[in-house]
Amino acid sequence: MVTELKTKQLTWWPSPAKLNLFLHINGQYENGYHQLQSLFQLLDFGDELAFEVNNSGKVHLANPIEGVPDSDNLIIKAALLLKQTAPSPEAERFGCTIYLKKKLPMGGGIGGGSSNAATTLLVLNHLWKCNLDLDTLAKLGLSLGADVPIFIYGKTAFAEGVGEKLNFTSVPSSYYLVVFPNCHVSTADIFKDPDLPRNTPKIDFSEYQFSNTRNDCQKLVCERHVDVANALQWLLEYAPSRMTGTGACIFAMFEHKKDALHVQSLLPNKMTSFVAKGVDSSPLHNQIQAHI
């Protein structure tokens, strides 16, 4: 745990959540990866990270995530990858202690781990004075996970390919009630399932409407996870709702924050939730710009 004194001394950097407002699986590549289309919407809510840089040459996570060894932790992997790539003769001396305030559920499909990796790359690129541009950082991020580049660029975007081909855009401002049904969905298992639809026709992004899209993973996840199915059925009584990514989180869309908060107040107690606003520019990018 981060002590109260230490918390006051640190600069905390946002690691925002994302939603897939839709997810269509168009096919599958020979290497096993899936060809998809999606719309990434960043939120003004997420985890937070703080970094104490030093010259130890070592990267240390002060409060590790239970059950996730450093060798699998995207935060550590991102920092080490940046050290290896940094165009500086002193890069081997780059070190830091990293602190994490974890608010986003793991396995929720809202990008917690990918966002943590992107925040690590972006902030340490700034603090270590690596001076790598966004395209270079996005390529590094893609090697860590398909969703990392969207957080590197920090903008609302339509995505194609495996999620790395981004077309930046904007959508009408909305508030989202995001609900985590307290179960874990394995992305790998969903994408391996033979019953996953893999032939949805591509759409023209200029014709996107929430009502004429869907999440191709949703039916399969709901069949496997009754908690997801029940939560989605409950939310649909109040607002347009959908699962994000491969789940388990689902979201309902509202024009006004007060309406989202009202429905949140009615949720069964066992459901974890938060209300957030969709943003066209990542709060992390805004904070970094303020520090330059």
| CA–CA distance, 59 with 62 (Å, rounded to integer) | 10
Which of the 8 DSSP states describes residue 264? Answer: H
| CA–CA distance, 124 with 116 (Å, rounded to integer) | 12
Q: Let me know if 135 is a catalytic residue.
A: no
> Can you spell out the DSSP letters for 194-237?
TTS---PPP--GGG--GGG--BTTHHHHHHH-HHHHHHHHHHTT
| CA–CA distance, 231 with 42 (Å, rounded to integer) | 22
Residues 161, 2 contacting (CB under 8 angstroms): no
From the list 84, 157, 93, 82, the residue with the least C-alpha distance to 119 is 82
Q: Tokens standing for 131? A: 């001076």
CA 113 to each of CA 51, 55, 127: distance values in angstroms, whole numbers, following the listed order = 17, 26, 21
Write down the catalytic residue from 18, 77, 83, 155.
Answer: 18
From the list 92, 118, 247, the residue with the least C-alpha distance to 184 is 247
Write down the catalytic residue from 47, 147, 155, 216.
Answer: 147
> Can you spell out the DSSP letters for 19-75?
EEEEEEEEEE-TTSPEEEEEEEEEEEEEEEEEEEEESSS-EEESSPPTT--GGG-HH
Q: Let me know if 18 is a catalytic residue.
A: yes
From the list 186, 50, 38, the residue with the least C-alpha distance to 107 is 186
- Could you give the residue numbers annotated as active site? 18, 147
